[in-house]
Amino acid sequence: MAQVSMTVNGKTVSGEVEGRTLLAEFLREGLNLTGTHIGCDTSQCGACVVHVNGEAVKSCTMFAMEADGADVGTIEGQANADGSLNVIQQAFQDHHGLQCGFCTPGMVMSAAALLKENPKPSEAEVRTYLEGNICRCTGYHNIVKAIMAASGQDVSAIAAE
């Protein structure tokens, strides 16, 4: 067991972990931040995406100890300070970018990383970027639309509600 400490959603946290404890486990079981989901356990579905020092990371692929001292952001920390939804969250709600919602936290976190890198992505860029995020429910259409809308682009041309 070893001690780790990191900043999660702006708060300093610390805990005891084994060398093999994954960041996802630490967040979910150690900190009760269960919005980070486990969909595949093998780094393929993207349900567990969080931000580590501003980069999108699949937290089932990173050891908690690797995040020692890092600045970690999870879905629970995405809303605005006053509790209102941020622009990406709002767009997922308004454009029906979710059904069962299990992929949603990872999608929102990936989308945030994309828009930071590329504030006005094309539809094709959104789709390529989300290659590592699986959604089994929506067929992706409304997810892409939500992200386009969140980037301030007109989505009326993207057919179908």
Q: What are the backbone dihedrals phi and psi of residue 9, each rounded to the nearest 5 degrees, phi first? A: 50, 40
Of 24, 104, 149, 155, the residue at the interface with another protein (CB under 8 A) is: 104
Rounded CA separation 24/105 (Å):
13
Q: Report in angstroms how near the CB of residue 115 gets to ligand FES at its nearest.
A: 19
Q: Which tokens sit at 10?
A: 């702006």
> What is the pattern of x (binds another protein, CB under 8 A) and - over residues 74-103?
xxx-xx-----x--xxx-xxx-x-xxxxxx
DSSP letters, 101-122, are -SSHHHHHHHHHHHHHH-SS--
Residues near another protein (CB under 8 A) = 28, 32-42, 44-45, 47, 74-76, 78-79, 85, 88-90, 92-94, 96, 98-105, 108, 126-128, 130-131, 133-144, 159-161
